[in-house]
Amino acid sequence: MEWRALGFGATAILISWPTSVAASEGDGSSPGLFGPIHLEAAGRIAVSGSQLSSPPYGWPGPGEGGGAGARAGVSYLGVYGGLTYMDYLSEGVCLYNSSTTCGSSHGFSYGVEGGYGRMFSRRLIVRAQLGIGDHATNDETTTFTCQGKCLASTSTSSTHFLYFEPALMMALALGLVLVGIDGSVFFMPQVDPQIGGSTTAIQFRVGFQLGVRL
């Protein structure tokens, strides 16, 4: 009986040992539905912590206070790659003089991000990453002129700036639920070539994330 018990115990150790070793490799997490490949998707709300640098006329378009968006990506043994999108509240104003001019502006950014992280205690993910993409602003101006009859003319324009966003994310994996916080520096070089020189817009952001990790 003792030898049989020892045999069963040794068999159980041999069966479980590769699994425990595999779980501790790479990013330190347990295998998911797709083994070492983990799919992630999360909504994100970013709040501007401080304005580190901005052009003389101020932040280019909406986004000075932050925005809301989403990200989705894949991690494999700690290496992460994905897509990100952030939308900013539209801004609008009307000026009244001999004619009425109303303008509105809508801003958004989209791009790719990649990085590397590790999981500690199979719950806490710490990841350093870099995002690169396009920060776009769409402007629409409508002028109403009334002289006998009222006429309206509308013009639209858009601006695009390359952005870089290095970030550090910390998140808790609670089953399939992912809850995280991140700190990033949103950096746009050469945002105003019209003034005869390049300027920069730099903003520190704090983000809050809620999503899933498979």
Q: Is the pLDDT of residue 193 over 90?
A: no
Q: Is the pLDDT of residue 182 over 90?
A: yes
Long-range contacts of 30-38 (CB under 8 A, 24+ apart): 30/122, 32/213, 32/214, 33/214, 34/214, 36/76, 36/77, 37/74, 37/75, 37/76, 38/74, 38/75, 38/76, 38/213, 38/214
Contact present, 101 and 143 (Cβ < 8 Å): yes
Averaged pLDDT of the chain: 81
- Top CATH class, 2-213: mainly beta
| Number of C-beta neighbours around residue 82 at 10 A | 19
Among residues 50, 47, 97, the alpha carbon closest in space to that of 204 is found at 50
- Percentage with pLDDT > 70 across the chain: 77
Q: Is the pLDDT of residue 148 over 70?
A: no
C-alpha distances (whole Å) from 51 to each of 22, 121, 140 are: 44, 36, 26
What is the rounded distance in angstroms from the CA atom of residue 119 to the CA atom of residue 131? 21
Please tell me the pTM assigned to this model: 0.74
Q: What is the pLDDT of residues 84-105, one digit of tens each?
A: 999 987 766 676 666 677 777 8
| Number of C-beta neighbours around residue 83 at 10 A | 14
